[in-house]
Amino acid sequence: MLNLMLPPDPSLLPGQRLRAGGVASNAAGRFEAQRVHAHDDGWDIPEDDRLIRTEVRLERPRSALSYNRSPDLPFDRSVNPYRGCEHGCVYCFARPSHAYLNLSPGLDFETRLIARPGIAEVLAAELRAKAYRVATVALGTNTDPYQPCEAGHLLMRQVLGVLSDFNHPTAITTKGTLIERDIDILAPMAARGLVRVGISITTLDANLSRRLEPRAPVPARRLEMIRRLSAAGIPVRAMIAPVIPGLTDPELEQILSAVRDAGAVAASWIALRLPLEVSPLFQDWLARHVPERAAKVMARVREMHGGKDYDADWGRRIRGRGPWSDLIAQRFDKAVARLGLVQKMPPLRCDLFRPPPRAGDQLSLL
């Protein structure tokens, strides 16, 4: 149900509209000194109806690997071929990163993207460094590496080619069907114990998914992705993320059963995270799409984050705390045990890592 009484976003120009957008705002990010407000110029001329189209700019990367020291993350390095994400998920915790580019975490995040051509070559150079020490690299930690623009730019496929050539352990998180294109690379890597894939599923309700994640594959299609990857011998973890209390948490057991039947061997969950600009964007979404649940959802979110919209402390930001967090965790643990899923997958192999020889390299005698 749409609340048509809400005022238009002042940051959108007259006549601007977006097809299947996750948010309805393009408000400036937290670092901007100025705010844009549309204003009637007084001319009695109707404005053109202008569709906001996705644009992709190019950035030549100086580095490929990003390192983190977060104790609540299972990886310490990642590669992100793209900035921004076409999927338009309203809840995406990565939206605030667009503010560092002087772009809005709102519509800009899903329509003004940045691709990083040459990132595979930069990655290869970093992996060849004598000081490099191998550990699993994560792909898809900030924005989805298999979002639609990957079909034309092929950056993820090039990165995977490098990681395969180096026998580098790799963990991928995505909800994009383009991953099926790369089964020819992923299946041999999986056979060598070098790769696993996480497919994120928020809900099984196609209508709700279309509103929450407007340009991401529908839930049934993501279950089919799990089937196809599993059939190719690629281990798949279903990531029930985010769990939105008061909205999607009633589906928890149903989702786990569906992903098990599709072939997933493991599962995990992450609570809804509303850092910085994400909170007002999500609350606006609630008011427009599920106004009858808005107060309940936000009350439970705050109960899970110590009375705040979001608690960024390590360990608490992923699952929250308190009775609602404990209840979801207990339900999850019981369902996983009943269904035969695991929560912790075996480590990927690091012992096979070897920089491949280049033309002109002296061959080893051993």
Q: Per-residue pLDDT tens for 130-188?
A: 999 999 999 999 999 999 999 999 999 999 999 999 999 999 999 999 999 999 999 99
**Rounded mean pLDDT, 94-102:** 95
Question: Mean pLDDT over residues 39-43, rounded?
Answer: 61
Domains of the chain as residue ranges with CATH: 16-39+47-339 (3.80.30.30)
* Averaged pLDDT, 338-366: 88
Residues 6+ apart with CB under 8 A from 319: 269, 270, 271, 325, 328, 329
Q: What percent of the chain has pLDDT over 70?
A: 88
Whether the pLDDT of residue 66 is over 90: the answer is yes
pLDDT, position 358: 85
Average pLDDT over residues 95-114: 95
Average pLDDT over residues 90-116: 95
Q: How far apart are CA 79 and CA 139, in angstroms?
A: 5
Confidence tier at 364 by pLDDT (50, 70, 90)? low
- State residue 5's pLDDT score: 35
For residue range 105-130, what is the model confidence (pLDDT) as tens digits? 999 999 999 999 999 999 999 999 99
Q: Give the mean model confidence (pLDDT) for residues 50-62.
A: 89
Residue 106 CA to residue 315 CA, distance in Å, equals 27
Average confidence (pLDDT) over 191-216: 97
The residues, ordered by sequence, that sit 6+ positions from 190 with a Cβ below 8 Å of its Cβ are: 196, 232, 233, 234, 235
Q: pLDDT tens digits for 204-227?
A: 999 999 999 999 999 999 999 999
- Whose tokens are 């999986």? That residue is 190
CA-atom Rg of the chain in angstroms: 22
The rounded mean pLDDT for the chain is 91
Residue with tokens 């643990």: 333
- pLDDT at residue 19, as a whole number: 61
Q: What pTM did the predictor assign? A: 0.91
CA–CA distance from 190 to each of 8, 144, 167, 185, 344 (Å)?
49, 20, 11, 9, 17
- 244-278 residue pLDDT tens: 999 999 999 999 999 999 999 999 999 999 999 99
* 20 CB neighbour count, 10 Å cutoff: 12
Does 362 or 347 have the greater pLDDT score? 347
Question: Which of 18-22, 190-194, 310-314 is least confident?
Answer: 18-22
Q: What was the pLDDT predicted at 98?
A: 96
Q: How confident is the model at residue 20 (pLDDT cuts 50, 70, 90)?
A: low
- Higher per-residue pLDDT: 192 or 7: 192
The pLDDT of residue 2 = 32
pLDDT value at 47 more than 70: no
- Alpha helices by DSSP H, listed for 217-277, are 219-231, 252-262
Which residue type is seen at 318?
Answer: I
What is residue 6's predicted lDDT score, i.e. its pLDDT? Answer: 37
